[in-house]
Amino acid sequence: MSLNLIQNFSFETGIDPWQNAGIAGTTDPLTGAFEGSRVGSFGPLLVLTPGNAVLSQAFPVEADALNLRVSYAFRRLVAVAPVVNGQFQVQIVWQRGADGGYAPISTEILENMPGTDVDISVDWETHVVVTGPKPALAEQARIRFILFRSLLELGVAGTYIDEVVVTAES
């Protein structure tokens, strides 16, 4: 059985060791979490917001790993129209290290979900994807969840992730 390479996979202890940018963080959603009580969140937005919202975490990858298996729970909630949710993307950035610093080798887009103007749902979706082959020089990978901002986001909208599991297949 492979171990989860992600720490704080269900955001129960806050944001650490995840890194965030833009309007991304953790929350205790009124509509409930997939696992536990907290989730990774992108939004909700009540104003025009520039830039993207990003949650990411780096983790070591063993030399004998062939690829990574990624699973996570996803929910996009829109409570008031008109709302335009931005495009949502899941990436793996393969990295190699030297003296404690890591340089990207390549970026792989695992999922690319288009924006939507109406998506009223309180149901969680589970997503499972497998990366392509691990680059030979990769010593570390970074998973990135990105909500690309649309030109207009009004109303109460939220995009949530929970129970992020990444395992190495060898």
pLDDT at 84: 60
Whether 2 maps to a domain, the answer reads no
CATH number at residue 53: 2.60.120.260
- What helix, strand, coil percent values describe the chain, rounded to 5? 0, 50, 50
Residue 26 within any structural domain of the chain: yes
- Domain contains 72: yes
pTM of this prediction exceeds 0.85: yes
Asked whether the CA dihedral 134, 137, 143, 146 is positive or negative, the reply is negative
Strand bridging mode 88-98 / 67-78: unpaired
User: What domain range includes position 44?
Assistant: 19-169
Residue 5 lies in a domain: no
* 153 confidence band (pLDDT: 50, 70, 90): low
Mean pLDDT of the chain: 85
- Based on the structure, what is the number of domains in the chain? 1
**Is residue 7 a part of any domain in this protein?**
no
**What mean pLDDT do residues 106-126 have?**
81
Residue, of 148 and 153, whose pLDDT is higher: 148
Between 113 and 110, name the one with better pLDDT.
110
- Confidence at residue 51, expressed as pLDDT on a 0 to 100 scale: 74
Residue 113 lies in a domain: yes
In a domain, 126, yes or no: yes
User: What's the N-to-C CA distance of the chain in angstroms?
Assistant: 11
Give the residue with greater pLDDT, 101 vs 28: 28
Render pLDDT for 3-62 as a digit per residue (tens, 0 to 9): 999 999 999 999 999 999 988 999 998 778 999 999 999 875 555 556 788 999 999 999
pLDDT on residue 113:
86
Tell me whether residue 3 is in a domain. Answer: no
Phi, psi of 62 (to 5 degrees): -65, 150
